[in-house]
Structure 1
Amino acid sequence: MQREEPAPCVVERAPAIRQDLIQIAGEVAFILSGSELHNRQPIRNLHERFIRPIRLGQGRMFRTEQGAPVGVVTWACLSEALHKRMLTEGPQQLLPDDWQSGPHLWVVEFAVLSSRVQPMVRAIVDILETEYPDTPSAHLHRISEDGQNWRLGRWDNRRSAARRAINAALAEKVHAAV
């Protein structure tokens, strides 16, 4: 009986992994490890709630002047149905198609090394005002330190728009007076 030669193994090349994505994943992991709220979460959250939205352009890293990572924020534009579930049931696992599924803006994750909270909050408001100027509001879940409880938070862009209009009018008056 003649033995058949085994079929040659086909080794597929793995798709190229972008170096910047590896760096971002490492920086996000560093930030999450320093966050009491995030450091016990499953590793899958790193991709699902941080890397995926950053790749979609719906997230930002924050760094010191020296370039050290100190915080990260992600947001989603959710469908009406998912928006209602988030309002009533709390945080939801978002599927890949959920991140850009509708008009409702949600801040999904916000992780920061403790000493940098206030400057980052201001920077996040600036991002929302700049990138979503026509969106009336954004929502978020404020999670307790033990990760077990949440309460709803809301940012009102109309107040920000009014503040911008007042500042522009004041700047015009100052310019006209000079």
Structure 2
Amino acid sequence: MSEQKSARSKPKGNADKPAQAGVTDGEIPRPAVPDSAQVFTTLGAVAWLMGRSPAHRHLFMADLDWLVLPPLQLGQARLYHRDNQPIAYVSWGFLSEEVEARLLAGTPRLKPTDWKSGDRPWVIETVAPFAQASALEEIVADLTKTVFGGVRPNIIVVRSRQKVHGHEPSVW
């Protein structure tokens, strides 16, 4: 299983210097943001996965605007592949106490500003119609190590989309 890393934006600066993601001429770090082509390519793969997922196939296209685009644009999502085939998409947020409370109360729709509102690590969405439980554990282990600094995140689990709209998520 491999992951697709987001393409990074190139900093402004001298053309003769090699570009280093996240660094400007003054060496002040800035967040690396995926470029639009990568966002759109990943969005297509995520939509394809959602179309094959019983828990996601009945979502509206408009749901991509709040469920998929913000984490893609913030670099808080990964697409995993096996044999050059997308098998899983995962998005995460660092939530404030207030946003976490809303999520636990059954309001799964995050505003764009909610995704980076605090320091509480959460896996917000997982679309994995072809992945076995062991693959999902590998994905969580990868994110725990590479994104969350060794801290296992809370994971929102929704058994079906009806329950999301009926406000019955649980935590794994």
Ranked by relative contact order (alpha carbons within 8 Å, sequence separation 6 or more), the top structure is 2
Identify which of 67, 89, 95 aligns with 1:72.
89
- Percent identity between the two aligned chains: 23
Normalized per residue, which structure has more helix? 1
Q: Which runs of 5+ in 2 are unaligned?
A: 1-34
Paired with 1:56 and 1:50, the residues of 2 have a C-alpha distance of 10
Aligned match of 1:138: 153
**Runs ≥4 in structure 1, deviation > 6 angstroms?**
none
Report Cα offsets for 1:16-47 as digits up to 9, x if no partner.
x9332221111011000000000101212223
Computing the radius of gyration from Cα coordinates, the structure with the larger value is 1
* Pairwise CA distance, 1:113: 2.0
Q: Distance in 1 between matches of 2:75 and 2:36?
A: 16
Give distance in 1, aligned partners of 2:150 and 2:135. Answer: 24
**Distance in 2 of aligned mates of 1:138 and 1:115:** 19
Q: CA deviation at 1:74?
A: 0.3
Count of paired positions: 135
Q: Distance in 2 between matches of 1:30 and 1:129?
A: 27
SS of aligned partner of 2:59: coil
- The alignment yields a C-alpha RMSD, in angstroms, of 2.1
The 5-angstrom pairing of residues 1-178 of structure 1 reads 18-65=36-83, 67-87=84-104, 89-133=105-149, 135=151, 137-145=152-160, 147-148=162-163, 150-154=168-172
1:59 Cα deviation (Å)? 0.7
Q: Under a length normalisation based on structure 1, what TM-score does the superposition of the two structures give? A: 0.67
Are the aligned partners of 2:39 and 2:72 in contact in 1 as well (CA < 8 Å)?
no
In the alignment, the residues of structure 2 paired with residue 124 and residue 44 of structure 1 have an alpha-carbon distance, to the nearest angstrom, of 27
Q: Letter of the aligned partner of 2:98 in structure 1?
A: A
TM-score, with structure 2 as normaliser: 0.69
Aligned to 2:68, the other structure's residue is in SS state helix
Which runs of 5 or more structure 1 residues have no equivalent in the other structure? 1-16, 155-178
